[in-house]
Amino acid sequence: MILDSLENAGLYESVHPRFKQAFDFLRSTDLVALPTGKIELDGKNLFVSVVEITGKTATEARMETHNNYIDIQIPVSTSETMGWIAGKNLKTVTDSYNPDKDISFFADKATNFLRLNPLEFAIFFPTDGHQPGILDGTIKKVIIKVLV
């Protein structure tokens, strides 16, 4: 898991071959003006989901993991809290792995919480359990999916 602000994104471009293209998109795009929906940057290898969601409490938010994609999550309209736990510590599966959506859900709760302000980002790898969407109200956010 990585947490930082978009202005420091260049520090992480060497972590994965597709991160530079992902961060170039984020730095060159008016994220506030983006409509909800999917934007393909490199087919299934790299794409963007712009979503508006209703926040949940830490109790209601679901812990998730992905097997094939890395998430770069960026709140755009307001701050968001996200939970984190090492994937190896997840024990209680509630929804087994769905290969079409590349997601599993767990009843386990976070051991740490991150508060992201607009244009800060969290990178969650397949080894990271994450619990996004903890906030009051609604949020617009950008999620970049990077094929491992």
pTM of the model: 0.97
Q: What percent of the chain has pLDDT over 70?
A: 100
CATH number at residue 137: 2.60.120.370
pLDDT tens-digit readout, 116-143 = 999 999 999 999 999 999 999 999 999 9
Find the domain containing 132 and state its range.
2-147
Start-end of H helices in the chain: 19-28
Contacts of residue 17, defined as CB under 8 A and 6 or more positions apart, other chains included, come to none
Instruction: Provide mean pLDDT across the span 83-109.
Output: 98
Sheet strand arrangement including 103-106: 93-98, 103-106, 63-65, 128-134, 80-86, 112-116
β-strand 69-75 against 112-116: which pairing, if any? unpaired
Amino acid at position 108, single letter: D
pLDDT digit string, tens, across residues 40-75: 999 999 999 999 999 999 999 999 999 999 999 999
CA distance 52 to 21: 23
How many domains in the chain?
A: 1
